[in-house]
Structure 1
Amino acid sequence: MNRKTLVLPALAGLLAPVLAACGSSDDAGDGGDPIVVGVATHIEATKSAPAPLDPAQAYDVDAWNVMRATLQTLMRLPRSGTAPVPDAAESCGFRDTQNEQYRCTLRKGLKFSNGHALTAQDVKFSIERMKTINNTNGPVSLLDDIDKVEAPSDTEVVFHLSKPDATFPQKLTTPAAAIVDSQVYPKGHLYSGFNVVGSGPYTVKAERSGNHIAKALFTKNPSYQGGLKTHNDKVEMRFYADSADTERALRKGDIDLMNRGLSPSQVQGLENARDSHITLQTMTGQEIRYLAFNTKDPAVSNKAVRQAMAQIVNRSDLVRNIYAYTGDPLFSMVPTGLTGHINSFFNKYGNPNVAAARKTLRDANITTPVKFTLTYTTSHYGSSTAKEVRALQQQFNSTKLFDVSVKGIDSWQQYRTDAVAGKYSVYSMGWFPDIPDADNYIAPFIGKQNFLGSPYRNGKIESQLIPASRQQSDRNAAAADFKQVQDIFADDVPVLPLWQGKQYVAAHDDITGISWALNAASGLQIWELGRGVSD
């Protein structure tokens, strides 16, 4: 993603993106060498998380990018915009006025990559399997509202929801609702390893290095029946230790494209890389970064401590000094650009105010300095994460109200497992949306099966505001409920929003389709990439 060509996000469907490279994109990548995508992360199998490409476990943007290309869903997000369109389904829709019964008719002739027929029974199996396994680190919470799934025929699926949910069609576009082969995937446990058997636009073959994927080769699936058009025959995904290694590979010509995790200095350097025939394109993004709290940890269990942190944190300093304005300060978990966003944290706390933080702690009889460790992952969110955490440490410690140490964890899977287990009192996290709706920046962090494993509970949000918002098919009508939730978050501070990032794609200028490379949920759409002729 060229800085000088600003492309508005697909989120609002406001404008159709312009072509990012010269030349034709019609099947430009068919035949010949694969288009090579570089990714600055690891997809790894660990003892605690042995199935990184099983939809019942995988819940991170990189694994989902693999699954979106290989595992089919009933619905998918369109090229631009947020209204789901059919993929494995021929048609889908609510069959009642309460948004509680959702019925889909499947396309005829669907097959998995192993030749097995895909039927409504496989859809039923996939959803029930996700709920049966109920993996702590997985996306099962996205399917919480499903009470029962029926398959009255080979081509009909009926979802009965326990409560109204107008966002349900969007949830069916996510890998949480991916359709797996009931003859291959075990019903009661994870499908370990790096193999994928799906019916998506590609098959994939992974090359391992130790416990993680070094390369993944995606090959056009001749049996795919769906609404997507692939503009290439093959895509190779290579995984690197960090974005610096990925950029070097891009400049050397080892890869054709990279996105995500770019440091500010890399963004600035790639903006001026025209002599290298590299285009950097910028999109307004919906990635957010925040601090998460174990609200039962003695150091931060009193919300006055978390409120004092909210009064001290200087988002503008982070955006300016660490990220060189490649992001914007964020004062709510719901990012700007989504219906229902308000600056709830700024409305409550205003600009950084040490005196106010001191009074908050004193009034709550909190002994200072408050001591805790701020933990972060070194391998998942880019090389600037360590600098960000050190800057936050300095912000808190300079007030003498806090005594913060920092600790980095190399393994992303271990980091996630330990965080959900409550082993960290305060830790740095990022969020890419599952679906482009304000609900997805609220609901995953609330309730018994929340993404963070957080012990924080709020009855009004869980039993009133979220259910009320999901009754609104018109998402503008849900804005009032979302605003109340954001104000409650600002008061209780179960999470502390920091910044909202832009999205970048850097590619050689003979690569076409990069304007379509990311969908409204920040998912990588490798099928849009082609190889054309540069000017």
Structure 2
Amino acid sequence: MSAAKRFAAIGCVGLLTATAACGSTSSSSKGGVNSTITLGTVSSYTSLDPAGAYDAGSWTVFYNVYQGLMTYLPGANTPSPDAAKSCKFSDSSYTTYTCTLLPDLKFSNGDPLDAAAVKFSIDRVLKIGQLKGDNGSGVSVLLDTLGSVDTTGTDTVTFHLKTADATFPDRLASGVGEIVDPKVYSGTKLLDGTGIVGSGIYTIASVQTKTGSDGKPVPASVKLVLNPNYKGAYSATKKLNAGATLNFYDSPAQVKSALEDGSIDLNAGSDLAPADIVALQGAQQLGKGIQVVQGTGSSTRMMVLNVGMAPFNNQAVRQAVGKLIDRQAIADKVYQSTVTPLYSVIPQGIGDQTRPFEQAPYGTDPLKADQVKSSLSGVKLPIDFTLTYAANSAAGPAEAAQIKSNLEASGIFKVTLKSVPSLGTLIPLWSSGKLVASLTGWQADYPDPDDFVSPFVGKDNTFGNNYAPSTIMNDLHPLSLKEANRADQTTANTFQEIQKQFAEDAAYIPLWQDNQYIATQANITGVPLTLDIASIMRFWMIGKS
């Protein structure tokens, strides 16, 4: 996840409000396919270059302005061709994957999109990741099974994998698989400037910035317009708007205010405080005022503990955190029952989820202090540590305070809370490998249980917490990648073992799983098509009546 700021300020400074100068389009605009929609979110992008971003805010933009070989159609949990005409494994060992492109593909600037462009795009992610030119985003981990890419003619691309990887089509459908123009993007460094070129349904018309709390420019808005050159899985799909403006706010309260005064048509993700969701649901009237649409979620929230740093280089101390956390209290008191307590790193709805954090040595309810102390023989109490969290996450401060209360009530822990402005501020701290404990959400890159495993393990894992379990990395994970039928019992058994190992090691303490809530003006249509297990916000399917 890159924290690089690559856009010069062009006029929108200070807190973003709904003004024409900031590129917003009033929700009172006339409806129909020629209308534009305006969305608001606290999840701004960290980079607009696919080789430099591994966060939900950036990927929300990617899915609308870039195109991959594969994509997830609404409601699907397996990928379908997009820029590709067809893709398939050409061997039974799942190590050779070949795609044939659609004919006559073009980027938004008219440059041809061919097999060479696909190879260039994938190769540069790996190269930039190796050079740390991704500013520590870690996105290249999604291509860790890829050995090499070659082309045949202008329309065929073959991926040679180092090991079996039945999830490779899913990885290509994620944000790491977006195709960029070799004439515009460097093969060894991230794009510097505003000249974003993709082949997706939209193209970026303008980018505006504002002044952040540190005095530096941060994203304020991105304005999108339909790309006339798009050709792919959605070519025959009627686009319900002519463009979209995505406004970035500093807090959930600002998003709610923008909804209430009509500055935006809808929020674009997990942008509302739980109390506001409950209040808006209770006040909604059919066909009038703000409406709340609820959908299935696959995003999770967890504590990340650094196994390479004291006090969490002690497994018993890590397990003690998992034993004392009151997930139900967090769900009920902090999130007002808008989330579901989670007892596994892998959430419900993604593969065969189990609940190992309810089993030994944990228990179905938070354990009492004396039970936990008995497992900490020889450890000096209280155990001091600092818990870092993003202040602009929904209910982030209240959640951190609840966890602090849980842990300190036992007399076992002394917790110092440290807030940082946003997720983007956490990224370099993870990359340093020196963040002892943090709170974060995880949104699936692709709807397969592997995506809650491979980015979490290894010396250079996404969270820099030094968690590299040999049993998972050398045995269970490789085995899971050989299992093509992701729904059969053999695959389920492998992931059950992985979940048990995660619970035993307690490097990640799962807290809760979300539901998706989008609040809209009464004249907004199509939102349910964006609320599925793949968690892709498909702007083109949202319209105004």
Normalising by structure 2, what TM-score?
0.88
C-alpha deviation, 1:251, in angstroms: 1.4
1:470/1:478 contact within 8 Å kept: no
Q: Which residue of 2 aligns with 1:174?
A: 174
| CA distances 1:128-178 after superposition (whole Å, capped 9, x unpaired) | 100001133131111111111011111100001111111111111111011
**Which residue is equivalent to 1:273?**
283
**C-alpha displacement of 1:29:** 3.9
Per the alignment, in what secondary structure is the counterpart of residue 207 of structure 2?
strand
Aligned: 1:490 with 2:490: no
1:223 aligns with 2:229: yes
**Residues 349-360 of structure 1: pairs in structure 2 closer than 5 A:** 349-350=362-363, 351-353=365-367, 354-360=369-375
- Count of aligned residue pairs for this structure pair: 494
Q: Does 1:253 align with 2:262?
A: yes
1:62-105 deviations in whole A, cap 9, x for unaligned? 11010110111000001112121111001111111111111101
Partner of 2:432: 421
Is 1:290 the counterpart of 2:292 in the alignment?
Answer: no
SS at match of 1:391: helix
Match of 1:43 in 2: 45
Q: 1:322 to 1:355 in 2, by over 3 A?
A: same
Corresponding residue of 1:385: 396
Equivalent residue letter for 1:30 = V
In structure 1, distance between residues paired with 2:456 and 2:231 = 35
Distance apart, 1:454 and its partner CA: 2.2
* Residue 519 to residue 74, structure 1, CA distance change in 2 (3 Å): farther
Question: Which residue of structure 1 lines up, in the alignment, with residue 470 of structure 2?
Answer: 459
Deviation of residue 273 (structure 1)?
A: 3.4
Alpha-carbon distance between aligned partners in 1 of 2:336 and 2:300, rounded to the nearest angstrom: 16
| Local SS of the residue matching 1:361 | coil
**Whole-angstrom distance in 2 between the partners of 1:243 and 1:206:** 22
Match of 2:249 among 240, 250, 266: 240
| Structure 1 residue aligned with 2:529 | 516
* Corresponding residue of 1:97: 92
How far off is 1:438 after superposition? 0.8
Residues 170-227 of structure 1 show CA distances to partners (whole Å, capped at 9, x for unaligned) of 1111110110011111111111345421000000121222422211111000000111
- Alignment correspondent of 1:207: 208
1:302 counterpart letter in structure 2? N
CA contact (8 A) 1:286 1:500 kept: yes
2-side partners of 1:528 and 1:433: how far apart? 21
1:489 corresponds to which letter in structure 2? F
Contact 2:284 2:292 in 1 (8 A): no
Q: Distance in 1 between matches of 2:31 and 2:232?
A: 20
- Once the two structures are superposed, the pairs formed by residues 338-417 of structure 1 within 5 Å of their partners are 338-348=350-360, 349-350=362-363, 351-353=365-367, 354-362=369-377, 365-379=378-392, 381-382=393-394, 384-417=395-428
Q: Does 1:262 align with 2:272?
A: yes
Going from structure 1 to structure 2, the CA distance change for 1:239 and 1:29 (only over 3 Å counts) comes to: farther
Tell me, yes or no, if the aligned pair for 1:142 and 1:171 is still in contact at 8 Å: yes
- The more displaced of 160-169 and 135-144 is 135-144
Q: Judge conservation of contact 1:307–1:360 (CA < 8 Å) in 2.
A: no
Residue 28 of structure 1, CA deviation: 6.4
Equivalent residue, structure 1, for 2:519:
506
Within the alignment, does 1:430 sit opposite 2:441 as a pair? yes
- SS of match in other structure, 1:31: coil
**Alignment deviations for residues 351-372 of structure 1 (CA, whole Å, 9 cap, x no partner):** 211222111112xx11111011
Shift of 1:398: 1.1
Q: Gaps (5+ residues) in structure 1?
A: 1-26, 45-51
Secondary structure in 2 matching 1:290:
strand
Unaligned runs of 5+ in 2: 1-29, 212-216
Q: Secondary structure at the match of 2:509?
A: strand
User: Which residues in structure 2 correspond to 1:20-59 (within 5 Å)?
Assistant: 29-32=32-35, 34-44=36-46, 52-59=47-54
Offset at 1:520?
Answer: 2.5
Q: Which moved more, 1:96-105 or 1:193-202?
A: 193-202
- For 1:237 and 1:168, the matched residues in 2 are separated by 31
Q: 1:63 corresponds to which residue?
A: 58
Describe the SS at the equivalent of 2:50: coil
Question: Structure 1 residue 300: deviation in Å?
Answer: 1.4
2:283 alignment partner AA: A
- 1: CA distance, partners of 2:500 / 2:306: 20
- Give how far 1:243 is off: 1.5
Alignment partners' CA distance in 1, 2:50 and 2:404 = 36
The aligned counterpart of 1:113 is 108
CA distance in structure 1 between the partners assigned to 2:510 and 2:309 by the alignment: 19
Query: Counterpart of 1:234 in structure 2: which amino acid?
Result: G
C-alpha distance in 2 between matches for 1:414 and 1:282:
29
Does the alignment pair 1:313 with 2:325?
A: yes
**2:157 aligned partner, one-letter code:** V
Whole-angstrom distance in 2 between the partners of 1:432 and 1:303: 26
Q: 2:220 aligns to what SS in structure 1?
A: strand
**For 1:367, what is the secondary structure of its paired residue?**
coil
What is the CA–CA distance in structure 2 between the aligned matches of 1:140 and 1:193, rounded to whole Å?
Answer: 22
Query: 1:531 offset after TM fit, Å?
Result: 1.2
Change over 3 Å in CA distance of 1:131–1:321 after alignment to 2:
same
Partner Cα distance (2:164, 2:108) in 1:
35
**d(CA) in 2 for partners of 1:334 and 1:401?**
28
Secondary structure, aligned partner of 1:199: coil
Q: Which residue of 2 aligns with 1:470?
A: 481
Are the equivalent residues in 1 in contact too, given 2:76–2:534 (CA < 8 A)?
Answer: no
Asked if the contact 1:41–1:242 (Cα under 8 Å) also holds between the matched residues in 2, the reply is no
Structure 2 counterpart of 1:83: 78
Amino acid at match of 2:198: G
CA distance in 2, matches of 1:195, 1:375: 35
- Whole-Å Cα distance in 2 between the matches of residues 70 and 245 of structure 1? 26
Q: 1:99 to 1:28 in 2, by over 3 A?
A: farther
Alignment partner for residue 479 of structure 1, among 464, 471, 492? 492
State whether structure 2 residue 531 is matched by structure 1 residue 530.
no
Residue 445 (str. 1) matches residue 448 (str. 2)? no
Contact preservation (8 Å) 2:296, 2:533 = no
**CA–CA separation in structure 1 for the residues paired with 2:147 and 2:196:** 27
Whole-Å Cα distance in 2 between the matches of residues 314 and 274 of structure 1?
32
